[in-house]
Amino acid sequence: MNKGIILGFRGSWSSGIASLILKDESGKTIEIPCENTATVRALDACYGGVIKSGRTVNEKSFIGKKIFYEYDDLGLMLGGFVPVCDLCEENPADDIIDGHYLCSECT
């Protein structure tokens, strides 16, 4: 998995395709194509308050969040992501306790 910081999200609900904008571990800004609806729902499930009325996205709820991400099988689009553990910042989180994402080593 790759590690990055979310810088933004750009998309159009009518096209079905969007981009998750990240800063990768080398500091480079990248735009990863993704499925618009699924990515917005995943961001909302992780961070809450993402989905706004009028088919718009509240980026403030997820900008600056650290994630582990991977590409799809073809290496072209976002395959999935998981928040980084808030305590150690080294492992993918697998649980949320008291509002913090934690990995199995930190729980």
Can you give the CATH number for the domain in which 77 is found? 2.40.50
Residue 107 lies in a domain: no
**Single-letter amino acid code for the residue at 33:** P
Residue 70 lies in a domain: yes
Strands (E), the chain: 2-11, 17-24, 29-35, 51-52, 56-57, 66-71, 78-83, 95-97, 100-102
Residue 95 lies in a domain: yes
Residue 23 lies in a domain: yes
Residue 28 lies in a domain: yes
Residue burial 14-49, b: 16+ Cβ < 10 Å; e: rest: eeeebbbbbeeeeeeeeebbbbbeebbebbbebbee
Q: Residue 99, Cα to own-chain centre: how many angstroms? A: 17
Q: What is the mean pLDDT of the segment spanning 65-72?
A: 97
Q: Which domain holds residue 47?
A: 2-102
Q: What is the mean pLDDT of the segment spanning 35-58?
A: 91
Residue 48 lies in a domain: yes
The answer on pLDDT for 55 being more than 90 is: no
Residue 77 lies in a domain: yes
pTM: 0.91
Total count of domains within the chain: 1
Residue 68 lies in a domain: yes
* Residue 54: predicted pLDDT: 78
